[in-house]
Amino acid sequence: MKIAVTGATGQLGRLVVESLKARTARENIVALVRTPSKAKDLGVEVREFDYTQKALLASSLKGIDTLLLISSNEIGQRAVQHRNVIESAKQTGVTWIVYTSLLHAENSSLSLAGEHVETEKILNESGLPHTILRNGWYTENYTGSIPGAIAGGAFLGSAGDGKISSASRADFAEAAAVVLTSAGHQGKVYELAGDNAYTLTDLAKELSRQTGKDIPYKNVPEAEYANILKSFGVPEGFAYAIASWDVSISKGAIFDDSKTLSKLIGRPTTPLSKTIEEVLRAQK
Ligand SMILES: NC(=O)c1ccc[n+]([C@@H]2O[C@H](COP(=O)([O-])OP(=O)(O)OC[C@H]3O[C@@H](n4cnc5c(N)ncnc54)[C@H](OP(=O)(O)O)[C@@H]3O)[C@@H](O)[C@H]2O)c1
């Protein structure tokens, strides 16, 4: 039984491979990577895999039974890339695809949702047995802003009082590994999110508590937030996208209280306080 993981040199993919190694023999795991030179430390079979090269996809999928398709990070190209992978998987005899989608994809106001909805549709139409892991926000999405918040004395955003049910990448990776190595998941759609929702005000309070500094949350209008991000060197298109995601979050786009993620992994999800603690420790 060969289980292959795409994007295995990415941040989530690496954690999935690690989590799989704890659950099945290394010989059963194949890392599918765009850049093999980045995969030398993975400790499993590595095959080259570029979502844009259909011939390569088909040859690299030979003998694979189960495929975890981790969504590409090339926003705007993803539906086409994912279609290439799904069609190649069907052609080479993959029997089950697990796909990392987005929380509440079909109703989500996040601009990211469209490509995930399209990919889910391609999977449904492929006739291949599949499972959808609708991943919520990574807590780590916020940790990159911590040094700037400490330096600037405020945590900025446009998310208002929106509740954020984030979980750590490691939590989502473990869920993927559990699904890939256990039975009964085909045909299921899992809405995956952290156990305890928080607002950015709560996040700033926790950051203040752990640093002993006063770092309040400052909510700013969408356009102003995009401009601030641009002034920090974030490319214009991405800055506007991030600000728009915050506005969606203010309306509840990444809130979920089903606790499906913790039920799948059999433990509580990683609390916000722990992720902040880890970031601050790494900065020392
Ligand atoms: N839930 C969330 O909060 C959240 C946040 C950010 C992203 N995401 C989504 O979740 C995915 C995984 O997250 P992550 O943090 O692991 O992202 P990441 O670290 O950026 O990893 C993305 C992976 O996709 C691979 N990739 C990109 N284009 C490819 C192509 N044309 N062919 C083959 N592989 C390609 C990259 O390969 P290289 O290593 O060669 O670059 C990388 O390994 C992202 O790609 C994105 O779709 C979710």
CA distances from 131 to 101, 161, 185 (A): 10, 32, 6
Q: Is 157 in the pocket of ligand 1 (CB under 6 A)?
A: no
Q: Is 84 in the pocket of ligand 1 (CB under 6 A)?
A: no
Question: Does the pLDDT value for residue 1 go beyond 90?
Answer: no
Instruction: Give dist(CA 116, CA 51) in Å, integer.
Output: 15
What is the number of the ligand 1 atom nearest to the C-alpha of 52? 31
DSSP code of residue 36: G
Q: Could you please report the per-residue DSSP string of 114-125?
A: HHHHHHHHHHHH
3-state secondary structure of 173: helix
Tokens standing for 264? 């799948």
Amino acid 283: pLDDT: 85
Amino acid 146: pLDDT: 94
The residues near 219 (Cβ < 8 Å, ≥ 6 apart) are 157, 158, 159, 160, 200
* C-alpha of residue 130 to centroid of ligand 1, in Å: 20
What is the number of the ligand 1 atom nearest to the C-alpha of 71? 47
Which of 5, 9, 12 is the pocket-test mutation for ligand 1 (most atoms within 8 Å of CB)?
12
pLDDT tens digits for range 65-81: 999 999 999 999 999 99
pLDDT tens digits for range 36-50: 999 999 999 999 999
CA distances from 280 to 102, 119, 153, 218, 271 (A): 28, 37, 15, 21, 15
Question: Does the pLDDT value for residue 181 go beyond 90?
Answer: yes
Mean pLDDT of the chain: 97
Pairing mode of beta strands 217-219, 155-157: parallel
Which of 16, 35, 73, 192 is the pocket-test mutation for ligand 1 (most atoms within 8 Å of CB)?
73
Q: Is 50 in the pocket of ligand 1 (CB under 6 A)?
A: yes
Q: Is 258 in the pocket of ligand 1 (CB under 6 A)?
A: no
Q: Is 52 in the pocket of ligand 1 (CB under 6 A)?
A: yes
Q: Is 74 in the pocket of ligand 1 (CB under 6 A)?
A: yes
Amino acid 284: pLDDT: 80
* C-alpha of residue 169 to centroid of ligand 1, in Å: 12
pLDDT tens digits for range 97-121: 999 999 999 999 999 999 999 999 9
Amino acid 38: pLDDT: 97
Note the pTM of the prediction, 2 decimals: 0.97
pLDDT tens digits for range 128-174: 999 999 999 999 999 989 999 999 999 999 999 999 999 999 999 99
pLDDT mean over 82-87? 98
* C-alpha of residue 38 to centroid of ligand 1, in Å: 14
Angle between the N-to-C axes of helices 200-211 and 272-283, in degrees from 0 to 180, rounded to the nearest 10: 40
pLDDT mean over 179-206? 98
Of 183, 71, 181, nearest to 118 by C-alpha is 71
What is the number of the ligand 1 atom nearest to the C-alpha of 140? 3
Instruction: Give dist(CA 54, CA 80) in Å, integer.
Output: 11
Of 112, 269, 107, nearest to 196 by C-alpha is 269
What is the number of the ligand 1 atom nearest to the C-alpha of 78? 47
Question: By CB neighbour count within 10 A (0-12 exposed, 13-18 middle, 19+ buried), where does 114 fall?
Answer: middle
